[in-house]
Amino acid sequence: MAAQHQVREAFVALYGAEPDGVWAAPGRVNLIGEHTDYNDGFVMPFALPHEALAAVSRRDDGILRLHSADIEGGVAELRLDDLAPETDEAWTSYPAGVVWALREAGHPVTGADIHLTSTVPSGAGLSSSAALEVVVALALNDLYDLGLQRWQLARLCQRAENVYVGAPTGIMDQTASACCEAGHALFLDTRDLAQKQIPFDLAAEGMRLLVVDTRVKHAHSNGEYGKRRAGCEKGAALLGVDALRDVPYADLDAALARLDDEEVRRLVRHVVTEDERVERVVALLESGDTRAIGPVLTEGHASLRDDFRVSCPELDLVVSTAVAAGALGARMTGGGFGGSAIVLAEAADVDTLTKAIEEAFAAAGHTAPRVFEAVPSAGARRVS
Ligand code: ADP
Ligand code: MG
């Protein structure tokens, strides 16, 4: 693969020696199960062919050197002993955070030279940040013989992002990047991290899944995420459960009747119905009824738009246009307030749908979206 050679060559040019190896970790798209991962619920991501590639060598002198081909600026040189949470606002906080989290957990990492590049669009809700974290974690796990399992690496990466970078995220993104398999979606129970690989080979059945990156990121998204999280915790506390995951779908109406606060009621309704939708999608895929997941995706979008209120005009426009133009189903994916939507379509309809979405964006005066096909791809791995 050309990209691997380029990463190696760039590493040699920067650091003056061959890297110990090259690792890859993908971005992800979430098929269904949105805003459930911090409610101990279910998610179902799959890995994108877009990925971060890192050439890495170990060092034994307590120094971490970092370079990204995609960011202006030279090599950042950090001392491991100086790493401290929320002291770095730059991209380097993601890989440095992983090294910090590993060391904090007692793993004997003594330094590294890292050069990386990524084809995961940044800030598009496709988890470029998790790809960066996981590629570094896997490389160090191998180079330092740490013997950590994939789910443990994901946990450490989540800790890096939550504590070191200071960005509240659930466990989905890092687990997807670390654990997904080609041709499958990953059914993940975020409470105990139990996993099941669900065959998801759309091409074999004459379908495609499009990702539509709206290229907008509304500025208030972080604050709104925090509010939703807090609202969900309040709902769980009022209902006397550890997490909203513990409210059975069959008991939803009774649970809602116990809540006075309309805002909390809407959040609870989204989370409980979304967990049920994930289970429905798993059952449909396992029974081979793949086309029937389309309406479930569209239902999930309505819930995110009307109850959880994390959509935005651009995402709603993708979904309404796609469904009107004959898509099997569509929904926003990722945290919301911009980022990307997914569209499930018959292969024969892809061009018509793409054109309809592009025209709708042009007519509304929005920036042209980026549309690409998402093929369920491999998770993180050593590539050389
Ligand atoms: P998302 O994960 O949805 O893409 P985030 O805001 O969580 O969005 O992460 C994006 C950040 O990750 C960027 O601002 C940058 O700091 C870092 N990042 C992503 N890709 C790269 C890259 N190729 N090189 C350096 N930093 C990157
Ligand atoms: Mg991210």
Q: Taking a C-beta distance cutoff of 8 angstroms, is the pair 222, 200 a contact? A: no
User: How confident is the model over 300-336, as pLDDT tens digits?
Assistant: 999 999 999 999 999 999 999 999 999 999 999 999 9
With a cut of 80, say whether residue 203 has pLDDT above it: yes
342 CA from centroid of ligand 1 (Å): 20
pTM of the model: 0.96
Please report which ligand is nearest the Cα atom of 94: 1
Name the residue at shortest CA distance from atom 17 of ligand 1: 91
Please report which ligand is nearest the Cα atom of 52: 1
| Residues sharing a CB contact under 8 Å with residue 130, sequence separation 6 or more, in sequence order | 25, 27, 28, 157, 161, 169, 173, 174, 176, 177
Q: Which two tokens stand for residue 330?
A: 């569509």
Q: For ligand 1, what atom is nearest to the CA of residue 169?
A: 7
Across the range 90-116, mean pLDDT stands at: 98
With a cut of 90, say whether residue 139 has pLDDT above it: yes
φ, ψ of residue 324 to 5 degrees: the values are -65, -30
Q: Which two tokens stand for residue 343?
A: 């569209």
pLDDT of residue 155: 98
User: How confident is the model over 29-47, as pLDDT tens digits?
Assistant: 999 999 999 999 999 999 9
Return the best residue to mutate from 122, 127, 136 for the ligand 1 pocket (most ligand atoms within 8 A of CB): 122
The Cα 114–Cα 53 span in angstroms is 10
Across the range 150-168, mean pLDDT stands at: 97
The Cα 127–Cα 23 span in angstroms is 17
Whether residue 68 has its Cβ less than 6 Å from ligand 1: yes
Instruction: List helix spans (H) across the chain.
Output: 2-15, 93-104, 128-143, 150-159, 172-179, 221-239, 252-257, 262-286, 293-306, 313-324, 350-364
Q: Which residue has the higher pLDDT, 22 or 221?
A: 22
Return the best residue to mutate from 132, 134, 135 for the ligand 1 pocket (most ligand atoms within 8 A of CB): 132
The Cα 32–Cα 19 span in angstroms is 38
Q: Which residues of 292-301 are buried (b: 16+ CB within 10 A; e: fewer)?
A: bbbebbbbbb
DSSP letters, 220-259, are THHHHHHHHHHHHHHHHHHHT-SSGGGS-GGGHHHHHHT-
Return the best residue to mutate from 34, 51, 91 for the ligand 1 pocket (most ligand atoms within 8 A of CB): 91
Q: Taking a C-beta distance cutoff of 8 angstroms, is the pair 80, 109 a contact? A: yes
2 CA from centroid of ligand 2 (Å): 26
Phi-psi category of 213—alpha, beta or left, where left has phi over 0 and alpha has psi -120 to 50?
beta
Q: How confident is the model at residue 222 (pLDDT cuts 50, 70, 90)?
A: confident
Whether residue 119 has its Cβ less than 6 Å from ligand 1: no
Taken in order of first residue, the domains within the chain and their CATH numbers are: 2-197+378-382 (3.30.230.10), 200-373 (3.30.70.890)
Across the range 130-155, mean pLDDT stands at: 98
pLDDT of residue 1: 58
Whether residue 95 has its Cβ less than 6 Å from ligand 1: no
Across the range 258-284, mean pLDDT stands at: 98
126 CA from centroid of ligand 1 (Å): 10
68 CA from centroid of ligand 1 (Å): 11
